[in-house]
């Protein structure tokens, strides 16, 4: 891997509540290189969106970053004053939200919102900013951008609004983008267009992308690597083809086994019993042990750390947090 654009080191995020301090993210670490898409997948409550929000400085009270480091091009950004982080957000890092209506002000024309962002983070004149906004709308596939730039958000379809949000995220050519469920509210054909657009822009601009989703089809189509999260931790991370075809963690195997394919004629898909634990009731040891049919004594008392196991089907950089691969009684 080339020098990473974003490095997350032992990130911990907590929320202070009346019931006590709840740890939503627990010692998460990964890197994303220039031009790379890291897919982050897992059930609702796994910590995917919270991780993305922490990276771009959008964790608000009662939430807080309680430990670890976030580095952009090797420089720490998680401890910056709010005003300094605001200047970086949009210029160096950006976010594509799940619902474009939460990103676009319904009272302003889309062009006004694009131009305001461009003027805030660049030295362009208003006329040059408008020209850049039109070019961005054209780049993301908005037809007749010189006319649509004066439209209001409600005058765009869901897919077109999402394209506008992508243009907004790209307006200042950031080095890193968090795409948080960017295709969830769209129909299948529009999803494919948005996925292709994100891939194209990532490759052409060299932008590092963290793609948060629960859709393994989107991950398989878009990502270079994938991180499987469970209960605020990374259960497995590695090259996307390796993780999809040869998942190591029992949770990852369950997720992959739940995807229907044309290669098998199984009568039933894999089912993972139980549900994601509440933050106030994370099990001791491996958080997945109550749902795991391969758990043994060590899994109930000691939390596994990510390791790179050895094996014929394990590619370099494929790491898993599971006692099945750490040796000792019950291990493989």
β strands within the chain, DSSP E: 4-17, 20-33, 37-41, 63-72, 75-76, 93-96, 176-180, 208-212, 225-230, 233-239, 319-320
List the one residue out of 289, 285, 286, 258 whose CA is nearest residue 272: 258
Beta bridge partners of 95: 178
Angle between helices 158-170 and 188-205 (to 10 degrees): 10
Cβ-based neighbours of 318, under 8 Å, separated by 6 or more: 236, 237, 238, 239, 242, 243, 248, 308, 309
Mean per-residue pLDDT over the chain, rounded: 89
* Distance of alpha carbon 47 from the chain centroid: 10
Q: What is the pLDDT of residues 70-111, one digit of tens each?
A: 999 999 999 999 899 988 998 899 998 887 777 899 999 999
Cβ-based neighbours of 118, under 8 Å, separated by 6 or more: 124, 129, 132, 133, 171, 172
Q: What is the pLDDT of residues 18-50, one digit of tens each?
A: 889 999 999 999 999 999 999 999 988 899 999
The whole-model pTM stands at: 0.90
Percent of the chain predicted with pLDDT > 90: 62
pLDDT for position 176: 95
Of 248 and 193, the one with more pLDDT? 248
Residue 139 predicted with pLDDT over 80? yes
Residue 311 predicted with pLDDT over 80? no
Across the range 261-285, mean pLDDT stands at 81
Backbone torsions φ then ψ of 173, nearest 5 degrees:
50, 60
Query: Scanning the structure block, which residue is given the tokens 């910056």?
Result: 80
Note whether 228 and 38 are within 8 A (CB).
no
Q: What is the pLDDT of residues 140-175, one digit of tens each?
A: 889 999 999 999 999 998 889 988 998 998 888 899
């Amino acid at each position: 891997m080339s020098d990473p654009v974003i490095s997350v080191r032992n990130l911990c995020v907590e929320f202070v509540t009346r019931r006590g301090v709840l740890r939503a993210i627990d010692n998460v670490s990964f890197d994303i290189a220039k031009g790379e898409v890291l897919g982050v997948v897992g059930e609702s409550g796994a910590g995917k969106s919270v991780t993305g929000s922490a990276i771009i400085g959008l964790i608000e009270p009662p939430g807080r970053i309680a430990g670890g480091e976030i580095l952009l091009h090797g420089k720490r950004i998680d401890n910056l004053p709010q005003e300094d982080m605001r200047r970086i957000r949009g210029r160096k890092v950006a976010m594509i939200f799940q619902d474009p209506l939460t990103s676009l002000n319904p009272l302003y024309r889309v062009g006004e919102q694009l131009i305001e962002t461009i003027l805030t983070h660049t030295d362009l004149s208003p006329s040059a900013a408008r020209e850049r906004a039109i070019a961005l709308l054209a780049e993301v596939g908005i037809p007749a951008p010189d006319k649509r730039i004066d439209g209001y958000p409600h005058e765009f379809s869901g897919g077109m609004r999402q394209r506008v949000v992508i243009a907004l995220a790209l307006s200042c050519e950031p080095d890193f983008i968090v795409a948080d469920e960017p295709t969830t509210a769209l129909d299948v054909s529009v999803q494919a267009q948005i996925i292709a657009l994100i891939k194209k822009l990532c490759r052409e601009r060299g932008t590092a992308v963290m793609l948060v989703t629960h859709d393994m089809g989107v991950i398989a189509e878009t990502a270079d690597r994938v991180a499987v999260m469970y209960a605020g931790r990374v259960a497995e991370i590695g090259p996307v083809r390796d993780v999809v075809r040869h998942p190591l963690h029992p949770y990852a195997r369950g997720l992959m086994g739940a995807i229907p394919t044309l290669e098998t004629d199984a009568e039933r898909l894999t089912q993972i019993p139980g549900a994601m634990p509440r933050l106030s009731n994370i099990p001791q040891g491996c958080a997945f042990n109550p749902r795991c049919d391969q758990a043994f004594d060590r899994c109930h008392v000691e939390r596994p750390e990510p390791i790179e196991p050895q094996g014929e089907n394990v590619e370099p950089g494929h790491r898993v947090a599971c006692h099945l691969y750490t040796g000792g009684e019950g291990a493989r």
